[in-house]
Amino acid sequence: MIHKFKAKDINILLDVNSGGVHVIDDITYELLDYINLPLAKECPGEIISRLNNKYNSSDIKEAYSEIVSLYEDNLLFSRDIYGDYADTAVESPIKALCLHIAHDCNLRCKYCFASTGDFGTGRKLMPLETGKAAIDFLLEKSAGRENLEVDFFGGEPLMNFEVVKEIVRYARSKEREYGKNFRFTITTNGMLLTDDKIDFINKEMSNVVLSIDGRKEVNDRMRVRVDGSGSYDKIVDGYKRLVENRGDKEYYVRGTYTKYNLDFSEDVLHLYNTGFNQISVEPVMEDESIEYAITEKDLDKIYAEYDKLVCKIAEIKKNNGKINFFHFMIDLDQGPCVIKRLRGCGSGNEYVAVTPEGDIYPCHQFTGHEEYKMGNLHEHTFNENIKKEFAGCHVYSKPSCRDCWAKFYCSGGCNANNYIYNGDIHKAHELSCKIMRKRLECAILAKVCEQLNS
Amino acid sequence: MKHIKTINKANLSATAKKGGCGKCQASCQSACKTSCTVGNQKCANESNN
Ligand code: SF4
Ligand code: SF4
């Protein structure tokens, strides 16, 4: 399978199954439309006659023979040999937990998928006992995995920060005995950040996600306090202090864009100009009937914003600025192994979420969907059948992913989105797919430009 | 080559043979956390690097 596209006057060709990326000229670009497998050694006369009103025959033959040579080296139209791996490399130990440390929040962000913090299940903080039981569960279920991840999520985890600290202490106290390495992360809305909390986070959390949507008026339209006023002024200074004190450790500021700020490249630039250089801005996912939801009609505008961002980011880098925009992160040479790429997030199989009540779900987004409740920590129950269902959920078991050129980068998208919008974890959410594919083209383009300029 | 310039040396099929060790990070693909693509992740298995 191949995928080709034009961007910024460059013709780019991706060989999907090998991951090879090539820049090609116009003849080759058009020639590829007429190629049938298996490739004939010599360029068929029919192809020449289709193209020789535009190009001369010797150029067409030359381009054709270059295609053949890459094909013979397995760098073009390379075979898809991964279906078997998808079926054999199935169940994994659990290695990552999302702890819903607080089903409560001190903001009332209008687009919150957690129904302003409580996932529609009542406001509640996670008791320390549940947190400890979750760590024990992870230690028990992670046989063979050394690196374990625990993400403190909410609601707003800083509303229950003493418990966060105790859980970290508890987990660290077990590391040696079990031969494990804990890697903690936290997501916060910044409202309760203090210098003490910043110190703890910077010491213990290997990544921290700071929620902010970008420009003040954009942020304050959606990220509002209980009284309806905006949060921007309250959070931005804390974020700056945290980032200044953080050194080289990972963090990112993370925003959501909606129909209200389809010019979101301005928000990315605003965040950069405010002093943040690790930036992630994501489309809101909402039912089409909601006023601020993104719909098919917005796609052209969104695509144009991503194109704009490719140029803006290249400009910043050219002037020796440092910026990392998460949607354009891609490693064309040494990304993860293809087996990792078949499944992506690992929800329900390698990764589960735990609520304050001790309920276990395939991931944070499944919380409250009873049919996917996997068990409860206090009752010592865990449904292996649901785990198996998720283990079998990969790009080859999802019909639209199997034939999608983006499958080894997207890894089959978000199972939760598929379930929420299409009622089936295997049914890709097409609007998300379209945005994903555009982002990937931009990411590949940005890398190609860097290479061509170097 | 005159018409085709190869940009990277990726070879996904080679990674199938020594991959799947599970040392790497889990990664949420959803917009609600951050959906940076799996493609950007580093392989965490030292013997592969
Ligand atoms: S873009 Fe959509 S169809 Fe393609 S791999 Fe991702 S989820 Fe599957
Ligand atoms: S199912 Fe979706 S929300 Fe859940 S972990 Fe996977 S990508 Fe993230």
Are residues A14 and A21 in contact, defined by beta-carbon separation less than 8 angstroms? Answer: yes
Q: Which residues pair with A230 in a beta bridge?
A: A224
Between the alpha carbon of residue A319 and those of residues A99, A409, A451, the distances in Å are: 41, 29, 17
- Fill in the amino acid letter for A237: D
CB atoms within 10 A of CB A379: 9
- Nearest-Å Rg of the Cα atoms of chain B is 15
CB atoms within 10 A of CB A336: 24
Sign of CA dihedral A35, A36, A37, A43: negative
Give me the pLDDT at residue A119, please: 76
Q: Which of residues 224-283 of A touch B (CB under 8 A)?
A: 252, 254, 256, 280, 282-283
Interface ipTM > 0.85: yes
CB atoms within 10 A of CB A193: 21
Of the ligands numbered here, which is closest to the C-alpha atom of A438? 1
User: pLDDT grade, residue B47 (50/70/90)?
Assistant: low
For residue A98, give the DSSP letter. E
For residue A178, give the DSSP letter. H
DSSP string, A281-316: EEE----TTSTT---GGGHHHHHHHHHHHHHHHHHH
Residue B41, pLDDT > 70, answer no
Q: How many CA atoms lie within 13 A of A24 on its CB side?
A: 27
Give me the pLDDT at residue A221, please: 96
Supply A186's token pair: 């936290």
Are residues A150 and A99 in contact, defined by beta-carbon separation less than 8 angstroms? Answer: yes
In A209-295, which ranges are continuous DSSP H helix?
216-222, 232-245, 265-274
DSSP string, A11-47: EEEEETTTTEEEEE-HHHHHHGGG--SSPPSSPPHHH
Q: Which residues of A touch B42 (CB under 8 A)?
A: 331, 334-336
Give me the pLDDT at residue A331, please: 87
Between the alpha carbon of residue A412 and those of residues A90, A139, A403, the distances in Å are: 15, 28, 11
Give me the pLDDT at residue A323, please: 96
Contact yes or no for B29 and A345 at CB 8 A:
yes
Q: Which residues pair with A151 in a beta bridge?
A: A98, A185
Are residues A23 and A11 in contact, defined by beta-carbon separation less than 8 angstroms? Answer: yes
Give me the pLDDT at residue B42, please: 67
* Residues B13-23 pLDDT 10s: 888 877 778 77
Which residue CA neighbors atom 3 of ligand 1 most closely?
A401
Supply A172's token pair: 């660290």
Q: For chain A, first and last CA: distance in Å?
A: 29
Contact yes or no for B33 and A330 at CB 8 A:
no
Of the ligands numbered here, which is closest to the C-alpha atom of B28? 2
Among the partner-chain residues B11, B22, B29, the one whose CB lies closest to the CB of A18 is B11
Contacts of A43 (CB under 8 A, 6+ apart): A60, A61, A64, A65
Supply A28's token pair: 């080759």
Task: With CA atoms as reference, report the closest residue to A317 among A265, A277, A275.
Answer: A277
**How do strand A351-354 and strand A324-325 relate by DSSP bridges?**
unpaired
* Distance (Å) from CA A434 to ligand 1 centroid: 8
pLDDT in single tens digits along all 454 residues of chain A: 999 999 989 999 999 999 999 999 999 999 999 998 999 999 999 999 999 999 999 999 999 999 999 999 989 999 998 888 887 766 789 999 999 999 999 999 998 877 777 777 778 999 999 999 999 999 999 998 999 999 999 899 999 999 999 999 999 999 999 999 999 999 999 999 999 999 999 999 999 999 999 999 999 999 999 999 999 999 999 999 999 999 999 999 999 999 999 999 999 999 999 999 999 999 998 899 999 999 999 999 999 999 999 999 999 999 999 999 998 988 888 788 888 888 888 899 999 999 999 999 999 999 999 999 999 999 999 999 999 999 999 999 999 999 999 999 999 999 999 999 999 999 999 999 999 999 999 999 999 999 898 8
* Distance (Å) from CA A433 to ligand 1 centroid: 5
Measured from the Cα of A400, ligand 1's closest atom is 3
Residue B38, pLDDT > 70, answer no
Among the partner-chain residues B6, B19, B34, the one whose CB lies closest to the CB of A280 is B34
Give me the pLDDT at residue B15, please: 85
- Fill in the amino acid letter for A309: L
Measured from the Cα of A407, ligand 1's closest atom is 5
Q: Would the CB of A16 count as within 6 Å of ligand 1?
A: no
d(CA A325, CA B36): 9
Contact yes or no for B22 and A411 at CB 8 A:
no
Contact yes or no for B36 and A256 at CB 8 A:
no
Supply A154's token pair: 């909410």
Q: Which residues of A touch B37 (CB under 8 A)?
A: 329-330, 409-411, 436, 439-440, 443
Which residue CA neighbors atom 3 of ligand 2 most closely?
B30
Q: Which residues of B touch A326 (CB under 8 A)?
A: 34-36
Give me the pLDDT at residue B32, please: 63
Residue B30, pLDDT > 70, answer no
Among the partner-chain residues A22, A326, A432, the one whose CB lies closest to the CB of B34 is A326
Q: Which of residues 207-226 of A touch B (CB under 8 A)?
A: 209
Among the partner-chain residues B20, B28, B32, the one whose CB lies closest to the CB of A337 is B20
Measure in Å the smallest separation between the Cα of B18 and chain A Cα atoms.
8
Instruction: Determine whether A227 is exposed, middle or buried from the number of CB atoms within 10 Å of its CB (0-12, 13-18, 19+).
Output: exposed
**Biggest CA pair distance of chain B:** 45
CA angle A73, A79, A84 (to 5 degrees): 135
Q: Would the CB of A160 count as within 6 Å of ligand 2?
A: no
Judged by a CB distance cut-off of 8 A, whether residue A340 touches chain B is: yes
Searching chain A, which residue's CA lies closest to the CA of residue B22?
A145
């320390």: which residue's tokens? A128
Are residues A344 and A454 in contact, defined by beta-carbon separation less than 8 angstroms? Answer: no
Q: Mutation test of ligand 2: which of A284, A347, A350 has the most ligand atoms closer than 8 Å to its C-beta?
A: A347
Contact yes or no for B38 and A439 at CB 8 A:
no
Supply A408's token pair: 């080894």
Measure in Å the smallest separation between the Cα of A109 and chain B Cα atoms.
13
Between the alpha carbon of residue A341 and those of residues A103, A108, A143, A408, the distances in Å are: 32, 36, 22, 5
